[in-house]
């Protein structure tokens, strides 16, 4: 009945309506029709009746960038009710903005709740941000920043955790049809710390996991910075984009094929520039591409992007052999836990965390591990540091299959600890250790290296010191193994490089090796033990820094404690941790002369009052600085350095 009354009142006053001639607002008694538009105060946006493109015969009340008249609409009012002609946009007698067809039939309304005293005094205003607002005096009653298929700076994708109210993007049905399509983009209502693209009701793409409040910074090829901000610590959680230069036009668009695209307008070419962050594009972007309990490896060949996690094998090997990975992987050995049986966890680094996790807030790192350790149903966990610097953060736990896990992430990457059978851990796995045990291992390796350099019957240079060649006994005492590389070398003999990640520059580039080459490898190993991160994880084409480069950057920024493994960061002595880091940087210096001997290393590690020389920038700070990193030349020529290396005998 209310709308019938509105319609009758509209008919009565229609003869006194005037065509709106003002620039950015519409007031009672005015209307927009035909090819007339509202234009925002600075001329950035225009609002009027448009065809979606030149092939369309339907009209929609829509908004577009005013200076780019042939670009797509960024907001549409009557998405579900296209018009055959450009008709009427006006304020109705109840104070709402409405679209009427040529018979004065209601097509669309803002549907705001307007008090009786305000009904004849509301205003429609097109702001220069691209927001159309309905106002009474200074109060906003409704706004168009409830997005259609496009996000502009200032628009939020949001979810109110209390009311369940959502703001989502919904794609067009086609490029020439703004009616709602098959794809939507929004925040996960079940676990509101991640976003999804759904194809109808089926997950199509899932974002990384966002914990807390932060802003990610990106740089486009033209130099303009744009930002993704999020806050998941409030009741009304959101994602939003912004730009450093307001004159630069950014839009984030969910296209009819289900892709989220980030685009900047290029005045020179009069086109939208894709920023290269569109999703989904890679196989690993598509939800659960590799099935459960497997990892999709970004950048791998299309023929083999999937691998089973440690302790798992393909559920249906024949399907995997022909490129169908949807069935995923199953455990090879039944896990045993409880009754005092200790569980083991394999650390997988730099991943997009899998779906279907449980958030356990207000936990420390040790509490997070302990809760998963004690619950036999817990298959994996992850810990996120608190943003306030305290030792209380957020624990994520999984209690079933691990789905939609991705490796080789470059941004929003995390580490995950996956429960495995004890027999499935090899010597290269990162077993979680207390700080005291790490110091014991560091000192043990240093003593072992000093022995083979100085006190063994024959002088030995190891040349292949790395984590997998350090064996730990039941008391966690280290023993250096694999002396397969240690043998007698004749003049001009050649040898293939074996492990560039730990290899000193002089060995990698020229084949020169001596005691200081082992010191370099020890420095890399020391950084691994301190950080809990594998050096190999940094030797990927997406990552610009080496492990030493990453640690050095934090050190120079005064954030050295961030290098320390989060598992022990709160418990380790501050001075001792930084001293170990300082020693590691001295060991990985470019020039062997700047590196200490193993005897000096042991002295520095054990004496708090020792004055250390300041370290210089480490060798191989970035992969691009040295093309030899990661390469494996077939041969290299060694200098005649008069060193005799022999297979070691027992001490």
Indicate the SS3 state at residue 560: helix
Q: In the prediction, which pLDDT does 155 show?
A: 92
Q: What percent of the chain has pLDDT over 90?
A: 44
pLDDT at 35: 86
Instruction: Round to whole Å and give the CA distance between 525 and 545.
Output: 16
Do residues 551 and 537 lie in contact, with contact meaning Cβ atoms separated by under 8 Å?
no
Q: Which of 78, 98, 118 is nearest to 30 (CA)?
A: 98
Lowest-confidence segment of 149-153, 228-232, 332-336 by average pLDDT: 332-336
DSSP bridge pairs for 494: 637
* Six-digit token string for 25: 């607002």
| pLDDT top residue among 186 and 509 | 186
Q: What is the mean pLDDT of the chain?
A: 81
What is the rounded average pLDDT of the residues 268-294? 88
- In the DSSP assignment, the letter for residue 511 is -
Helical pair 547-556 and 515-531, crossing angle rounded to 10 deg:
70
Give the pLDDT confidence score for residue 264 in this predicted structure.
Answer: 85
Q: Is 443 helix (H, G, I), strand (E, B) or coil?
A: helix
How far from the centroid of its chain's Cα atoms is residue 161's Cα? Answer: 23
Q: Which long-range contacts (CB under 8 A, 24 or more apart) does 113-120 make?
A: 113/141, 114/141, 119/93, 119/94, 119/95, 120/28, 120/93, 120/95
Higher per-residue confidence, 454 vs 305: 305
Cα 542 from Cα 254, distance rounded (Å): 26
Under the banding of pLDDT at 50, 70 and 90, the label for residue 18 is: low
The pLDDT assigned to 465 comes to: 75
pLDDT at position 498, please? Answer: 39
pLDDT tens, 616-625?
A: 988 876 544 3
pLDDT tens-digit map of 226-273: 788 888 888 999 999 988 877 788 899 999 999 999 988 877 777 888
Of 194, 201, 190, 199, nearest to 239 (Cα)? 194
Closest by Cα among 256, 255, 254, 252 to 264: 252
Q: What does the pLDDT look like over 29-66, one tens digit per residue? A: 999 998 899 999 999 999 999 988 777 889 999 999 98
Asked if residue 633 has pLDDT above 60, the reply is no
Q: Which residues pair with 91 in a beta bridge?
A: 97
- Specify the pLDDT at position 396: 96
Residues 396 and 113: their CA atoms lie apart, in Å, by 42
Half-sphere exposure of 332 (CA within 13 A, CB side): 12
Output the pLDDT for position 63: 94
Which of 95-99, 406-410, 481-485 comes out lowest in average pLDDT?
A: 481-485
Place 310 in a pLDDT band, splitting at 50, 70 and 90. Answer: confident
Distance between CA atoms of residues 80 and 64, nearest Å: 18
Round to whole Å and give the CA distance between 396 and 645: 50
Nearest-10 crossing angle of helices 574-587, 547-556: 130
- pLDDT, tens digit, 9 for 90 and up, residues 355-407: 999 999 888 888 998 899 889 899 999 998 876 666 788 999 999 999 999 99
Contact 188, 194 (CB under 8 A): yes
Question: What is the structure's pLDDT at 172?
Answer: 95
Q: Give the strands of the sheet with 60-65, arranged side by side.
A: 37-39, 45-50, 60-65, 75-76
> Over 80: is that where the pLDDT of 20 sits?
no
Element (H, E) at 5: helix 2-13
- Are the CB atoms for 555 and 545 separated by under 8 Å? no
CB distance 210 to 194 below 8 Å: yes
Percent of the chain exceeding pLDDT 70 equals 79
* Residues 612, 242: Cα–Cα separation, whole Å: 45
In sequence order, the 6+-apart residues with CB closer than 8 A to the CB of 573 are: 435
How far, in Å, are 82, 309, 325 from residue 380 at the CA level?
50, 12, 22
The pLDDT of residue 571 is 79
Taking 60 as the threshold, does the pLDDT of residue 203 lie above it?
yes
Task: Assess if CATH 1.10.510.10 describes domain 435-625.
Answer: yes
Distance, CA of 102 to CA of 105 (rounded, Å): 7
- The stretches of 511-642 forming alpha helices (DSSP H) are 515-531, 547-556, 574-587, 598-606
Q: b/e per residue, 5-44, with b = 16+ CB within 10 A? A: ebbeebeeeeeeeeebeeebbbebebbbbeeebbbbeeeb
The pLDDT of residue 638 is above 90: no
Mean pLDDT of the region 155-169 = 93
- pLDDT above 60: residue 280: yes
Q: How confident is the model at residue 221 (pLDDT cuts 50, 70, 90)?
A: low
Is 210:412 a contact under the CB 8 Å cutoff?
A: yes
Q: How many CB atoms are closer than 10 A to CB 482?
A: 15
DSSP labels, 348-371: EEEEEPPEEEEEEEEE-HHHHHHH
Q: What is the pLDDT of residues 75-91, one digit of tens each?
A: 999 999 999 999 999 99
Q: Reply yes or no on domain 2-143 having CATH 3.90.25.10.
A: no
Q: Does 526 have pLDDT greater than 90?
A: yes
Q: How confident is the model at residue 467 (pLDDT cuts 50, 70, 90)?
A: low
* Whether pLDDT at 116 is above 60: yes
Considering only 289-303, 382-396, 434-448, which range has the smallest mean pLDDT?
382-396
The C-alpha atoms of residue 564 and residue 580 are separated, in whole angstroms, by 10
Is-contact 185 207, C-beta < 8 A? no
| Mean predicted confidence (pLDDT) in 509-522 | 82
């Amino acid at each position: 009945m209310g709308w019938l009354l509105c319609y009758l009142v509209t008919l009565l006053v229609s003869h006194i309506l005037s065509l709106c001639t003002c620039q950015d607002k519409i007031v009672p008694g005015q209307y927009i029709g035909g090819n007339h538009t509202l234009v925002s105060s600075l001329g950035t946006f225009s609002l009027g009746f448009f065809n979606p493109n030149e092939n369309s015969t339907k009209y929609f009340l829509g908004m577009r960038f005013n200076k780019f008249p042939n670009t797509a609409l960024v907001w549409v009012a009557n998405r579900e009710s296209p018009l055959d002609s450009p008709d009427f946009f006006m304020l109705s007698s109840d104070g709402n903005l409405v679209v009427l067809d040529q018979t004065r039939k209601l097509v669309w309304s803002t549907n705001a709740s307007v008090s009786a005293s305000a009904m004849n005094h509301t205003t429609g205003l097109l702001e220069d941000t691209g927001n159309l607002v309905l106002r009474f005096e200074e109060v906003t009653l409704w706004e168009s920043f409830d997005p259609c298929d496009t996000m502009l700076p200032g628009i939020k994708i949001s979810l109110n955790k209390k009311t369940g109210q959502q703001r989502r993007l919904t794609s067009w049905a086609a490029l020439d049809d703004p009616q709602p399509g098959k794809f939507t983009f929004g925040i996960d209502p079940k676990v509101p710390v991640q976003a999804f693209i759904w194809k109808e009701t089926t997950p199509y793409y899932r974002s990384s996991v966002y914990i807390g409040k932060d802003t990610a910074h990106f740089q486009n090829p033209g130099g303009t910075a744009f930002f993704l901000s999020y806050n998941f610590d409030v009741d009304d959680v959101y994602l939003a984009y912004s730009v450093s230069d307001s004159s630069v036009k950014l839009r984030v668009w969910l296209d009819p094929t289900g892709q989220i695209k980030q685009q900047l307008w290029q005045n020179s070419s009069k086109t939208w520039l894709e920023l290269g962050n569109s999703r989904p594009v890679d196989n690993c972007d598509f939800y659960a591409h590799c099935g459960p309990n497997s990892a999709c490896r970004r950048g791998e060949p299309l023929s083999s992007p999937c691998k089973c996690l440690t302790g798992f094998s393909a559920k249906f090997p024949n399907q995997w052999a022909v490129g169908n990975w949807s069935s995923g992987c199953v455990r090879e050995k039944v896990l045993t836990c409880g009754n005092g049986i200790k569980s083991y966890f394999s650390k997988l680094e730099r991943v997009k965390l899998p779906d279907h996790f449980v958030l356990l807030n207000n936990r420390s790192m040790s509490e997070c591990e302990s809760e998963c350790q004690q619950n036999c149903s817990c298959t994996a966990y992850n810990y996120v540091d608190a943003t306030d610097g305290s030792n209380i953060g957020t624990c994520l736990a999984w209690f079933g299959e691990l789905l939609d896990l991705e490796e080789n992430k470059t941004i929003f990457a995390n580490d995950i600890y996956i429960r495995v059978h004890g027999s499935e851990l090899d010597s290269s796995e990162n077993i979680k250790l207390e700080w005291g045990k790490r110091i014991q291992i560091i000192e043990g390796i240093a003593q072992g290296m000093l022995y083979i350099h100085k006190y063994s019957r024959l002088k030995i240079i190891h040349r292949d010191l790395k984590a997998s060649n350090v064996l730990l006994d039941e008391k966690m005492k280290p023993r250096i193994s694999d002396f397969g590389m240690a043998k007698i070398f004749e003049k001009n003999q050649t040898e293939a490089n074996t492990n560039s990640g730990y290899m000193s520059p002089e060995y990698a580039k020229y084949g020169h090796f001596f005691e200081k080459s082992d010191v370099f490898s020890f420095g890399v190993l020391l950084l691994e033990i301190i950080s809990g991160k594998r050096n190999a994880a940094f030797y990927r084409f997406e990552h610009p820094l080496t492990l030493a480069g990453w640690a050095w950057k934090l050190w120079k920024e005064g954030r050295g404690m961030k290098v320390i493994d989060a598992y022990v960061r709160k418990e380790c002595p501050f001075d001792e941790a930084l001293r170990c880091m300082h020693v590691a940087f001295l060991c990985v210096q470019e020039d062997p002369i700047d590196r200490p001997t193993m005897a000096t290393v042991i002295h520095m590690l054990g004496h708090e009052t020792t004055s250390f020389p300041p370290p210089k920038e480490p060798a191989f700070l970035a992969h691009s600085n040295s093309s030899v990193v990661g390469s494996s030349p077939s041969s290299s020529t060694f200098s005649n350095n008069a060193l005799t290396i022999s297979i070691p005998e027992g001490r």
